[in-house]
Amino acid sequence: MRIAVYGGSFDPPHRGHVEAARVAAETLGADRFLIVPDREAPHKELSGDGPSPEERLALCRLAFAGIPGAEISDVELRREGKSYTADTAEQLLAENPGAELTLVLGEDMLRCFEDWYRYRFLLSNCELAVLPRPEEDGDELRALCGRFERQYGARIRILAFEPIEASSREIRGRLPRRLGADELPEAVYAEIIRRRWYGAQPELSWLREKVYEGYLKESRIAHVAGCEAEAVKLALRWGEDAELAAEAAILHDITKKLKPQEQLNLCEKYAIIINHAMLNAPEVIHAVTGAAMARELFGVNDEVYGAIRWHTTGRPDMTNLEKIVYLADAVEPTRSYPSVERLRSLAEEDLDAALLETMERTLERIRALGGEPCPDTVEAAAWYAQRKNQ
């Protein structure tokens, strides 16, 4: 039996890792192709705000799902302490008597191979399959392989490989700046955003695509896009984080298209307690369920959660971001009711005054139609009216 082993920290697994695995699997044609995330890398520190070893294993399952025959192995996670490749090779050989092992590694790892723990054992018992780097001198790599073969009796194969340039360390640095989506497998990026590992913030273009395609009726996209544009404008005007405003606006209506029973099912799922007024007004419920779903699927922080949660009813003493998204929803460019131009101008001059007038207009409209106003809006309007009088 021939077993190929491709190990690493995979912190996180990126498209370069996936392409390397694909080439190795196709070229080597091994009976088993093991992808082995380590528990504790001997040669580098793992990120402090990233996934645990078990969670990196799960990310690898997502990343390499498309590689035929690939097995994600927990062999190194089952051992305590530093994850030495020599120990893994020794264990695999003991568990598979007579097996031939091939280690898949990058050219940069070959260059420091003589610093590896028990490297002579590895060279004596394993073939090396090397993935070259495009910027490196091929003659230099072949010379290095020749020296290893003469000096250690090594068996080395250089794979035909055109790598996708990517670095886990550099990607980790980009994720908090709303970058890196194109460098990671889609499922890996989505999970990182959901868990907000590495301090990741979603790329807004990626978030729009997910929301527009998966959670909105086509007829609602123009409203959501307008709400985002207005929220960004107001955030810049009032010194708030424009990207958080955009994130909240993009997500604010993600459950809007659901039917009343579907909304109630979400309330049960998220343990949301709703009052009588909300039962009769599903357009209010969607803000509560939307905030809960945004947290579950996209890992939104408390500020964004609050802005989504209160964007239909408001509440007393709202944060500025909550006010901004509430008003953006009410006055975005596709809105065309009689007082909208006044409210747009007022939002640029006095957030609280615009908020109170919008709430009073909403309550007046609901009462005129014989409806029951939401208690949250009644309480919020009274709070801001009292603040105005004071």
In the beta sheet, which residues pair with residue 101? 3, 126
Give the pLDDT score at 323.
98
Query: Is residue 342 in some structural domain?
Result: yes
Which secondary-structure segment (H or E) carries 205? helix 204-214
Looking at the structure, do residues 167 and 206 belong to the same domain, yes or no? no
pLDDT confidence tier of residue 146, bands split at 50, 70 and 90: very high
Tally the domains of the chain: 2
Looking at the structure, do residues 152 and 252 belong to the same domain, yes or no? no
pLDDT in tens, 93-124: 999 999 999 999 999 999 999 999 999 999 99
pTM value is 0.94
Largest CA distance in the chain: 92
Residues near 350 by Cβ (< 8 Å), separated by ≥ 6? none
Is residue 266 within 8 A of residue 289, CB to CB? The reply is yes
pLDDT confidence tier of residue 56, bands split at 50, 70 and 90: very high
pLDDT in tens, 172-181: 999 999 999 9
Is residue 75 within 8 A of residue 36, CB to CB? The reply is yes
Q: Residue 5: is its pLDDT beyond 80? A: yes
In the structure encoding, which two tokens stand for residue 144, read together?
Answer: 């290095």
Please give the average per-residue pLDDT across 378-390, as a whole number. Answer: 93
Q: What is the C-alpha to C-alpha distance for residues 155 and 166, in angstroms, rounded to an integer? A: 28
In the beta sheet, which residues pair with residue 33? 4, 70
In the beta sheet, which residues pair with residue 128? 103, 156
Amino acid code (one letter) for 386? Q
pLDDT confidence tier of residue 309, bands split at 50, 70 and 90: very high
Looking at the structure, do residues 211 and 303 belong to the same domain, yes or no? yes
Q: Residue 229: is its pLDDT beyond 90? A: yes
Looking at the structure, do residues 245 and 139 belong to the same domain, yes or no? no
Residues near 48 by Cβ (< 8 Å), separated by ≥ 6? none
The CATH number of whichever domain residue 152 belongs to comes to: 3.40.50.620
Looking at the structure, do residues 15 and 152 belong to the same domain, yes or no? yes
pLDDT confidence tier of residue 282, bands split at 50, 70 and 90: low
Q: Residue 135: is its pLDDT beyond 80? A: no
Looking at the structure, do residues 244 and 157 belong to the same domain, yes or no? no
Q: What is the C-alpha to C-alpha distance for residues 292 and 288, in angstroms, rounded to an integer? A: 7
Q: Residue 257: is its pLDDT beyond 70? A: yes
Amino acid code (one letter) for 258? L
Looking at the structure, do residues 236 and 293 belong to the same domain, yes or no? yes
- Minimum mean pLDDT among 63-67, 178-182, 193-197, 279-283: which range? 279-283
Q: Residue 296: is its pLDDT beyond 90? A: yes
Looking at the structure, do residues 146 and 244 belong to the same domain, yes or no? no
Looking at the structure, do residues 13 and 65 belong to the same domain, yes or no? yes
Query: Helices marked H in 38-176 — which ranges?
Result: 53-63, 85-95, 107-111, 119-125, 138-152, 168-174
Q: Structural domain of residue 88, as residue ranges?
A: 2-171
Give one DSSP letter per residue of 344-389, joined into a string: HHHHHH-HHHHHHHHHHHHHHHHHHTT----HHHHHHHHHHHHHHH
Query: Is residue 184 in some structural domain?
Result: no
Looking at the structure, do residues 20 and 82 belong to the same domain, yes or no? yes
Q: Residue 388: is its pLDDT beyond 70? A: yes
Looking at the structure, do residues 287 and 354 belong to the same domain, yes or no? yes
Q: What is the C-alpha to C-alpha distance for residues 336 and 342, in angstroms, rounded to an integer? A: 11
Please give the average per-residue pLDDT across 46-58, as a whole number. Answer: 89
Q: Residue 223: is its pLDDT beyond 70? A: yes
Give the pLDDT score at 16.
95
Q: Residue 170: is its pLDDT beyond 70? A: yes
Residues near 206 by Cβ (< 8 Å), separated by ≥ 6? 181, 189
β-bridge pairing 32-37 and 2-8: parallel
